Amino acid sequence: MLMNNYSRASVSFVRGKGATLWDKCGKDYIDFASGIGVCALGHSHKGVEKVISKQAKTLLHTSNLYNITPQSKLADKISNMLGGGYELFFANSGAEANECAIKLARKFGFIKGRKSEIISLKNSFHGRTIATLAMTGQNKFHPDEFGAYPDGFKFYDDIDEIIKNLNQNTAAVIIELVQGEGGINPLDKAKVQELARILKQRDILLITDEVQCGVYRTGEFVTSKLYDITPDIITFAKGLGNGVPISACASRVSIFKPGDHGSTFGGGFLVTSVAEYVLSQLSRLKNSGKLDKKIAKFEKNLDKLVEQNSDIFLKRVGLGLMQGIVVKDSNLLSKIVSKALECGVLVLRSGDSTLRFLPPLNLSKKEMKDGFARLKLAISEIKK
């Protein structure tokens, strides 16, 4: 029997292809969620399948006590994609990548004079381990029954307030450039740049949590490129492995020594081989111009949906293919998600009032068209 820690929909999927899923009854669904932003190349991608099969026939695990060639190749690839100068640590989930960032920040702070405080933003989300929950800027994720939470984490309403509260104890500031669980909220570019400049002046680390918004989700490999900043630490997960569990912490701060951190499964042969392939395919998609065209088309469809349903929708928010529509009445949000599922399209919620869209980055024209047609049907049935 499973633990009762998820509110699952009643549907059970048995296979997928591209952005389409089928349940055990044979009904098809257009996937505008991609496993919460994970399956960037869609389901059952032939190239991913070949990489998995090939690696499974040779070697799966030896541990990080020995050199892992595809891990080193992936580390070099990511560092080069970031412009060079980054060291990589690989783990299994976004929370683990952020745990690595926490330890780097605290060791950095210690070296600089016993500073340990890490500051985040209100409405942020950084993971479900005890430390990353403490770093998450939403009180609903801090119930008393999971306390006591570790000290050294604070969150503030906005960037101006963060800047005002920087002090001799601040080791790092962590931000999501687009808040994934906080309403698909892109941060203000000028404010982010001001924060980055001040942190550099004061020798405080800037960490960008790109677990959800990274890996081309917002149109570039890292969203920090859109903001014209160079973070000291960047964390990745979700779209990096197209479904295999892999995350990464990329750091320009070189302070770890053997024994400071580790992972039994992190960065194994299978996941790093797949991630290297995924990045190659996504880079090709971006460089061909096809990704930008898909983004523009998806945004146009969303804008039209908002315009045609201005009685229930307030506005479109987000960047790239990390999009949301703000619902005027938050009570409608769950109804829309449920009705959309009935009509054969998967969408998500974010925060209290945002309908979230995280489709595969190689979404086909037909799947996009069918998905929006089904979503329009769901909305029309709700409005009856």
Structural domains present in the chain: 13-38+295-382 (3.90.1150.10), 48-287 (3.40.640.10)
Tell me the sheet residues that pair with 16: 21
Take residue 186 and report the two structure tokens written for it. 């892109």
> What pLDDT digit, counting tens, does each position of 145-163 carry?
998 999 999 999 999 999 9
> What pLDDT digit, counting tens, does each position of 108-121 carry?
999 999 889 999 99
Closest CA to 226 of 148, 320, 142: 320
Q: Which helix (H) or strand (E) holds 130?
A: helix 130-135
Supply the pTM of this predicted model.
0.96
Closest CA to 184 of 312, 324, 314, 330: 324
> What pLDDT digit, counting tens, does each position of 24-76 carry?
999 999 999 999 999 999 999 999 999 999 999 999 999 999 999 999 999 99
Phi-psi region of 334 (alpha: psi -120 to 50; beta: other; left: phi over 0): alpha
pLDDT tier at 231, thresholds 50, 70, 90: very high
Whole-number pLDDT of residue 101: 98
d(CA 356, CA 348): 5
Residue 384 confidence (pLDDT) above 80 = no
d(CA 113, CA 203): 11
d(CA 128, CA 134): 9
pLDDT tier at 128, thresholds 50, 70, 90: very high
**What share of the chain has pLDDT > 70, as a percent?**
100
Query: Do residues 252 and 78 touch, judged by C-beta distance below 8 A?
Result: no
> What pLDDT digit, counting tens, does each position of 329-374 carry?
988 999 999 999 999 999 999 999 999 999 999 999 999 999 999 9
d(CA 128, CA 94): 9
Mean pLDDT taken over the chain: 96
